Structures are given as C-alpha cells and as structure tokens.
Amino acid sequence: MSEKVQITKENPFKILFVCLGNICRSPTAEGVFQHLVNERELQPYFYIDSAGTSAWHIGEPANSKSQQMANKHGVKLNSRARKFETADLEEFDLILAMDRENLQNIRQLDTQNRFSDKIKLMRDFDPQPGDDEVPDPYYGGMDGFQHVFDVVHRSCAALLDELEEKIES
C-alpha cells in the first residue's frame, strides 16, 4: 500500500472486491471485510463493495452455500450482484481481484494504465504462503466454500491491519 494513503472520516478508503459472478468469492470478501470493520468500530473510515467481471448473475443475492458458510462464522452477506464497470477504476482506492483471470479482465479496462497501482490480487495480502488465487468454488462442494472463506478471512484481516495504520483520527 502506498505510504501516501491517509484515511479519514472525510475521505474514507474505498475497496472493491471482484470475482467472476459476484455471487460467491467477492460477496464473501465484502461481507467479511465489513464484519471486521464493524468489529473494530471503523465504519466511518471505509466504503466497501463488490462486483463481477461477468453479467451472468446481475441482481442476485450471494450463492446459498456462500451465505451458509458466512452465517456459520457470524458474517452476513447482503450484496446483490453487479457487473464491474470502467467507472469503478476511478471510484475505488483499491480493487482486489480473486484470481488472475479477473485481474487481467480488470486491467484490460484500464486502457491507459492509469490505475495499475490500485489493482491487485486478494491473496497479495494473504499472510500464509501458497497459491496466489482464491479458487472458484461454484461447481464444487462445501469444502471449496470453506477454503474460500478461510483464505478470504485471513487475507481481509491482514489487509485491514495494514489499512488501520493509515487512519488519521
């Protein structure tokens, strides 16, 4: 994260989580990050959203298995799917893709490479070494959704630790 970032109530930090369908991974990340922000009472300092690079599920709530997994951990997923749009590149301070394909699709919309510094992978913040992608759980069983939740949770916690140091109260 850039040293220059200063987060205030007047200038909240805007984070967008992005996956393919915006019904499994990115709604989980949005809900988990919001949950951690709420726990630390940092709500005024963050604006959190999610989107998909496809239009397949626009308007749908999070996948029922994602919701089940989140609920098990006390996290509510309230999002409705929307498609990532070019204006998001300007609007958000940090755009986190769940896998390399999402990353590439987002970068393709940044035709003049103006926003490359703020487009990253979710797992750039994962404190446990391993794969650099949050794998798509859509066609698999609950173990895949559990893995997504675990990876996303520890990555979001590490990201929030980093961002909390940029808050100027």
Is 114 tagged catalytic?
Answer: no
Decide the pairing of beta strands 119-121 and 13-19: unpaired
Smallest gap from residue 24 Cβ to ligand 4NP (A): 3
Is 123 tagged catalytic?
Answer: no
Q: Assess contact for 100 and 121: CB atoms under 8 A.
A: yes
Q: How far apart are CA 160 and CA 35, in angstroms?
A: 11
Residues 35-74 close enough to bind ligand 4NP by CB under 6 A: 56
37, two tokens: 């922000």
Q: How far apart are CA 68 and CA 134, in angstroms?
A: 18
Choosing from 24, 25, 49, 123, the catalytic residue is 25
Residue 115 contacts ligand 4NP per CB under 6 A: no
Is 25 tagged catalytic?
Answer: yes
Nearer to ligand 4NP, 44 or 61 (CB): 61
Nearer to ligand 4NP, 19 or 36 (CB): 19
Q: How far apart are CA 81 and CA 6, in angstroms?
A: 30
Residue from 19, 37, 51, 119 in contact with ligand 4NP (CB under 6 A): 19
DSSP 15-28: EEEEESSSSSHHHH
The set of catalytic residues is 19, 25, 136
Q: Which residues bind ligand 4NP (CB under 6 A)?
A: 19-25, 56, 136, 138
